[in-house]
Structure 1
């Protein structure tokens, strides 16, 4: 590091002493990041979304097992994806994490999650899909998926009445196969922490004003 650079760092140390400890730490962090530099090609813009929806009152004819049990059921969960990739790509964009519960009568019948070996999830244009491809990885004998079809150029926010749960499990002691249609699905961003904080502040101020008026 050159002489001029050392002088700038010495001069900048004086005003930093007047800052609070938290502010000083943050300021120094920005200085370090600027010195190291960042590579735009490696930057990611991860965003988490809530996903929920309902299944049709009955599975398709010929279905047995899980598709039938999910009739009149629902699903809910979250997923995380790099939204910058969604805006710039028409090919598969893998989700970085996800957990989706398939529910009926307040009982979770199946969970699709990145924590389970063989599971995969992606967005391709208007398709959001969560799948257990364990049959392909020889980790289990199941092959099922939840597929939702949104409008074109889907980037994580929207609703649809088009989708299905597809079960093509291997024959075993409990047979399960067939299709259950999705009658409604909604995907929306999880509120940021500051949004929650702002809501609490507004609610607190409103309550205080009401009490003041009564007094």
Structure 2
């Protein structure tokens, strides 16, 4: 007949071995590393919005934008899947005044890179009578990895905040994205 002490030792040894194998398995398949890089972005909008635009798109004619975003560059260039940005702040500026900000810190804001499109969006107030949806979408050359310049993009707006309608499109005149200086 087996005594209780050797059985307890056998259980402890089995548990220790199982834990050791689990740890070895985890080491054999380490978590994927990330390579975050921050980019500065700046650009300007076309001299006029698309015909029929009202509100913010009209106000952004001849305006500019600037800010920064952070992304895992090891996931770039992005294929048909989305590579989410981990941090971003984009200021839409007219006459040296910030008109609107797109930021990770604001509810409803999202940002991503898909193929060669860098997009910053706000869908923060899609409740009740308030319908708010606008985005800055910039089309870079293929194989975009965070650095580049283009004159292809647009600011899209379809908002209804209470009784104030804002909708339409303003084209991007020029934009440049480059790595932020290392601290």
Q: TM-score, normalised by structure 1?
A: 0.68
Question: What residue in structure 1 maps to residue 67 of structure 2?
Answer: 77
Offset of residue 170 of structure 1: 2.3
SS of corresponding position for 2:173: strand
CA distance in 2, matches of 1:171, 1:92: 29
Q: Which residue, 44, 48, 67 being the options, matches 1:58?
A: 48
Q: How many residues align?
A: 157
- Ranges in structure 1 where 5+ consecutive residues have no aligned partner: 1-36, 194-215
* Superposed CA offset, 1:123-173 (max 9, x none): 01100000002245x395310000000001101000000000000112632
Q: Which residue, 144, 150, 164 being the options, matches 1:174?
A: 164
CA distance in 2, matches of 1:100, 1:77: 4
Counterpart contact for 2:78–2:144, Cα < 8 Å: no
SS of corresponding position for 1:170: strand
CA distance in 1, matches of 2:139, 2:174: 10
Using a 3 Å threshold, how does the CA distance of structure 1 residues 62 and 150 change in structure 2: closer, same or farther?
A: same
SS of corresponding position for 1:54: strand
CA distance in 2, matches of 1:77, 1:190: 10
Using a 3 Å threshold, how does the CA distance of structure 1 residues 38 and 99 change in structure 2: closer, same or farther?
A: farther
- Ranges in structure 2 where 5+ consecutive residues have no aligned partner: 1-26
Which runs of structure 2 are paired with 1:62-211 in the superposition (5 Å)? Answer: 62-87=52-77, 89-136=79-126, 138=127, 141-170=131-160, 172-193=162-183
* Superposed CA offset, 1:62-83 (max 9, x none): 0010000010000000000000
Higher relative helix content: 1
SS of corresponding position for 2:76: helix
Offset of residue 39 of structure 1: 6.3
Using a 3 Å threshold, how does the CA distance of structure 1 residues 38 and 89 change in structure 2: closer, same or farther?
A: farther
- RMSD of the TM alignment (CA)? 2.0
Offset of residue 179 of structure 1: 0.4
CA distance in 2, matches of 1:171, 1:62: 18
CA distance in 2, matches of 1:159, 1:167: 23
Higher relative strand content: 2
SS of corresponding position for 2:160: coil
SS of corresponding position for 1:155: coil
CA distance in 2, matches of 1:175, 1:90: 33
